[in-house]
Amino acid sequence: MAQPLHDARFLTSASTVNTLGVCHAEVAFVGRSNVGKSTLLNALTHQKSLARTSKTPGRTRLINVFLTGADRWLVDLPGYGFAVGPVKEKATWQAMVEGYLTGRPSLKMIYVLVDAEIGPTKLDIQVVEWMSEMQLPYRIVATKGDQVKPSRALTRRKELSGALGLHPNDIAWVSADKGTGIAELRMEVAGMLNLL
Ligand SMILES: Nc1nc2c(ncn2[C@@H]2O[C@H](COP(=O)(O)OP(=O)(O)OP(=O)(O)O)[C@@H](O)[C@H]2O)c(=O)[nH]1
Ligand SMILES: [Mg+2]
């Protein structure tokens, strides 16, 4: 395929993993509200408004599934750490996202998005620890790289990766705004989905 992921189209939204059908392979995008999950998905698929984005955290409220190829999925998940809203809603979020992440045998990789300038937050670290415990496959993607001053980039990379117990090269560094790192990540995702 010359341009993998470019054919992505909306398939379905779900509030529970139980109603999702089967697919050949899927990857998911998780992270704090507002970290740029939906924007990254649009950049990877080369589409402006495939996944809805917003300046207001909490835009994505459901498990949103996008189809690429005949039976491969890209899954946009609601963000965590969205402070506003009743406690009950947070419990619903947790059940929805954790249920999805642990309930999909075809899930090949979870891309955990961390803000390059702000992260990792305590919650980011908790999520990564939980994934390690659950033995889920994950990879850290540092987003909004354009927000980090070039003079601080090297230090920031060391800080962010160090806080997660990783080497800077273990992390995919991207900016959806500037397009940095997007082509590389697209090829990686396509490989995970066995599209290459
Ligand atoms: N500067 C900059 N801003 C970005 C980048 N990616 C996303 N944003 C902005 O960050 C905000 C949130 O982006 P979304 O993609 O909606 O974030 P999300 O993680 O899907 O958020 P929820 O659906 O609420 O969990 C928007 O205002 C985006 O324009 C980037 O690479 N650089
Ligand atoms: Mg979103």
Which residue reads 């997007």 in tokens?
A: 182
Token pair of 183 as six digits = 């082509």
Give the full edge-to-edge strand order of the sheet including 9-14.
Answer: 9-14, 63-68, 72-76, 25-31, 107-115, 138-143, 172-173
Is residue 144 within 6 Å of ligand 1 at its C-beta?
yes
Q: Is residue 4 part of a domain?
A: no
Measured in degrees and rounded to the nearest 5, phi and psi for residue 71 equal -155, 35
The tally of domains found in the chain comes to 1
Note the helical H segments in the chain: 37-45, 87-102, 122-133, 153-163, 182-192
Is residue 108 within 6 Å of ligand 1 at its C-beta?
no
Nearest atom, ligand 1, residue 178 CA? 31
Note the pLDDT of residue 90: 74
- 91-138: pLDDT as tens digits: 788 889 999 999 999 999 999 999 999 989 999 999 999 999 999 999
Which residues have C-beta within 8 Å of that of residue 155, sequence separation ≥ 6?
A: none
Task: Quote the domain boundaries for residue 54.
Answer: 9-192
Point out which residues pair with 30 in neighbouring strands.
112
Which residue reads 């980090």 in tokens?
A: 148
Q: Is residue 3 part of a domain?
A: no
Is there a contact between 156 and 162 (Cβ–Cβ < 8 Å)? no
Is residue 42 within 6 Å of ligand 1 at its C-beta?
no
Q: How many residues does the chain have?
A: 196
Note the pLDDT of residue 54: 86
Note the pLDDT of residue 63: 95
Residue 138, amino acid? Y
Q: Is the dihedral of CA 33, 39, 45, 50 positive or negative?
A: positive
Percentage above 90 pLDDT, the chain:
83
Neighbouring C-beta atoms of residue 65, cutoff 10 Å? 19
Q: Is residue 19 part of a domain?
A: yes
Report how far ligand 2's centroid is from the alpha carbon of 44 (Å): 14
Is the predicted pLDDT of residue 45 greater than 70, yes or no?
yes
Q: Is residue 125 part of a domain?
A: yes
Note the pLDDT of residue 55: 86
R_g of the chain, CA atoms, integer Å: 16
- For atom 26 of ligand 1, which residue has the closest CA? 55
Q: β-pairing, 63-68 with 72-76? A: antiparallel
Instruction: Assign residue 144 the CATH number of its domain.
Output: 3.40.50.300
Q: Is residue 150 part of a domain?
A: yes
Token pair of 13 as six digits = 């939204």
> Sorting pLDDT into bands at 50, 70 and 90, what band is 87?
low
Note the pLDDT of residue 86: 63
Is residue 64 within 6 Å of ligand 1 at its C-beta?
no
Cis peptide leading into residue 168 (ω within 30°): no
Q: Is residue 29 part of a domain?
A: yes
Note the pLDDT of residue 91: 78
Is residue 78 within 6 Å of ligand 1 at its C-beta?
yes
Is there a contact between 104 and 24 (Cβ–Cβ < 8 Å)? no
Residue 40, amino acid? L
